[in-house]
Amino acid sequence: MNETTSAPDSLGFWTLLGSDFAGKSTVLNTLHDDHGWRVVSYDDRYLGDHPLISQLRQHWIDDAFVWSGKRYSPELVLSVLHPIVLHLRDELTRFAGYERLIVDSYFYKLLAKCRLLGVEHEPIFSYWRSFPRPRGVLYLDVPPEVAWTRSAQGSRLNPFEYHAVPDLPGGFLRLQSEMRSAVLEEVGSVPVTVVDGAADPETVVAKVLAVLGTEAM
């Protein structure tokens, strides 16, 4: 899982993946601010004039996900998430050909987490899997215990980041442990480079830049 050759049906973009609290935002912000990379993400910083996506993201967990299987069917819950995933695809298509283009998690992490947390609807998942593939994936690998520390022992969590069990540390650690294999299973044949996300931020960024072949701007 350390090859970085292009997938045949890619648009030339890269994907940065990792568990919750793996440090993706730090890497993406550094790529954007210091190295001229265009970042595709549903985080507010990168949404620009797409307020609909921001509003959907803010309400999806509290108003949809937590009521999946109770007030709402999984299909309805995923239909609210679907426009967010479509936004990522549309932005990648819009910037196709841009030399330095990277997407935050793409659909891979969202799909894997939905499956692990019991929110499933295969027709929607199959459609996401039909989207263009990246030329390569960088996976920030962080032990669940390190992620728990970075979450301030759970004080920064939202319900989409842990299994709903009485033991919160256990529910978080379990989901983070499961996520690595589930996410990489979704990635499939796309070349993956695993980066030690538990290292200091400067070392992590340097490794990512080495894989991307990026020089400072």
Domain positions in the chain are: 14-212
CA atoms within 13 A on the CB side of 87: 25
Average pLDDT by stretches of 10, the chain with 217 residues: 44 93 97 97 93 94 94 97 97 94 98 97 98 97 97 95 93 97 96 97 97 69
Q: Which residues have CB under 8 Å from 195's CB, separation 6+?
A: 138, 139, 140, 141, 204, 207, 208, 211
What integer pLDDT is reported at residue 5 of this predicted model? 36
- Entry pTM: 0.91
What integer pLDDT is reported at residue 189 of this predicted model? 95
pLDDT, tens digit (0-9, with 9 covering 90-100), for 164-179: 998 999 999 999 999 9
What integer pLDDT is reported at residue 48 of this predicted model? 87
What integer pLDDT is reported at residue 214 of this predicted model? 67
What integer pLDDT is reported at residue 9 of this predicted model? 56
Gyration radius (Cα) of the chain, Å: 17
Q: What is the CATH number of domain 14-212?
A: 3.40.50.300
